[in-house]
Amino acid sequence: MTLLDVTLPMSDALASWPGDTPCAFRLGWKISEGASVNVGTLTTSVHSGTHTDAPFHFLPDGATIDRLDLSPYVGPALVVDVRGKRRITFQDLPNADYRATPRVLLKTDSWTDTTRFPASIPVLAPGVATALRERGVVLIGVDVPSVDELDSKDLPVHHEIGRCGIYILENLNLRDVTPGVYELIALPLRIVGGDGAPVRAVLRRI
């Protein structure tokens, strides 16, 4: 079995959302300093690196991550090449019935230096999530920090996706992935009350 790891490496070098808690890993106990084991501590926002948003992230009464059904995070997925698009419209996507591949991962390659937070990112145009839901999509994944404009306060794409009951994956690492059909496995940590969670996302060629 060949697995493609599409998770961004978690480290101090990973740029975080401005003002949010950055990722930091430290060894509190070290064998090199006389301890019997190495023991590390990870401090991070749940939205650092490759992660999923729970509805509670953008809805005050939305479901938290520990209450979500896990099935949308596992199964057939379609990686779509939308490189060079500033705004991703439905016409930029394959005109297909997505029920066979109800997870759509958008490869933009627009954030290549993950040590620096991007100044801008591609986003979905209004109506795209709704059209995808009508064709059977249960999850949308992107290779950037958000599905909305970085300076957005009302988060229209998050809310449209949420109304559709579609799950969100952000900060995927799709740079070395050829567009096509895969099996996605991207299970979130079970954080009680969490507004999101890190995932270890992998693809397997079907």
Residues marked as catalytic: 57
Report d(CA 143, CA 88) in Å as an integer.
13
Report d(CA 190, CA 8) in Å as an integer.
19
Integer angstrom CA distances of residue 108 from 71, 83, 143, 178: 25, 4, 7, 12
Task: Classify residue 66 as exposed, middle or buried by CB count within 10 Å of its CB (0-12, 13-18, 19+).
Answer: middle
Report d(CA 7, CA 128) in Å as an integer.
25
Residues in the chain, how many?
Answer: 206
Report d(CA 86, CA 138) in Å as an integer.
23
Nearest to 142 by CA among 127, 121, 160, 126: 121
